[in-house]
Amino acid sequence: MKNLEKNRKKIKFLESVTAIIVILTLIIPSSAIIAGNTQKPTENKKTLSIWMNDVEGEDYSIQKEVSEKKFNELNILSSDFLVFANATLDENSPGGKNITDIEWDEIEKGVIKIIDIIKAIIGDDFPYEATKTFIISLINIFRGPIYLIRQPLLSIGIGVTWVPFYDYETFLGKMVRPVFIRHLIGFSVTARLNPFRLGFPYWYFGLQRVRTFLFRGLLINFADLGIKRLIGPQLLIGFGAFTGLIH
C-alpha cells in the first residue's frame, strides 16, 4: 500500500512538472500558428481581441495590437494562475480535489490580476469596474449550490479560440452566440444544471476543449476571433447554455 501511495504521488508530481514545462514552452515569443494557417512574422506584435456582451449591462469590443513584452506578461500571469489552479486540485491540498473558499479567493485574485494588465493595455476606455464586479459575482456562484437556469463558466488557459459568426452581426450569430476553445493547458469550471434539483460545479485542468452557446460575458483572445488562430492566453467568463468541458 505504501508503494502504491508513493507511485501515485510520483505520477501526480510528474503531471504537475509536465504542465509547468508546457506552460513555460508556450511563453517563448514564437507562438505557433495552427489549423493549417501559416504566416511569416513581420513584427513582434499580437492582436488582442476583447468581446463583452451584457457584462453588468455593458457591451464592449475592441482589437488592439500588443507588444511582445505585454504579450509575455499576460502569458506569465496566465501561467502563474494555472500553476495555482493545478495545486488547488491536488489531493494533498487543503480541500483535496475540492476547491475551498480560501482557494476561490485566490482564484478570484488571479483573474483580477489578468484583468488589471488588460486595463493597462487598453487604457481608460476599458470598462474595468463593470468587468471586475461581473467576475467577482460569477466566481461567488461557484462557492455553493447553483440555482441558475443558465450555466456559469470560467475558463482560463493557453490555447486557441474559434467563434463562428464571430462578429455576431448575422441573425444566426445573434441567436446562437457560440464559442469553442481548445486549451493546450487550462483550467475550466462550469456546472451541470438540472431543472429538478440543485446544480453543482465541476472542473477540469489540463488539455481540454470548451464549448458554449448563447454566451453572455467576457471573452479575451489573441488574433481575429474567426480567422487567425494563434496559441496564446484565452479567457472566457460568463454564462451560457449547452456548455461542455471535454477532457
The Cα 70–Cα 114 span in angstroms is 11
22 class by beta-carbon count within 10 Å (0-12 exposed, 13-18 middle, 19+ buried) = middle
- More confident site: 224 or 243: 243
pLDDT per residue as tens digits for the range 127-150: 999 999 999 999 999 987 777 778
Question: Is the pLDDT assigned to residue 117 strictly greater than 90?
Answer: yes
- Residue 195 pLDDT: 63
Question: Is the pLDDT assigned to residue 246 strictly greater than 70?
Answer: yes
* Contact (Cβ atoms closer than 8 angstroms) between residue 228 and residue 33: yes
- Residue 197 pLDDT: 64
Query: Among the ranges 41-45, 92-96, 187-191, which has the highest mean pLDDT value?
Result: 187-191
pLDDT per residue as tens digits for the range 169-220: 555 656 678 889 999 999 999 988 766 666 778 899 999 999 999 899 999 9
- More confident site: 155 or 166: 155
Share of the chain above pLDDT 70, in %: 72
Q: Provide the whole-model pTM.
A: 0.79
**Average pLDDT over every residue of 157-169:** 74
Sign of the CA dihedral with 141 first, then 121, 63, and 231 last: negative
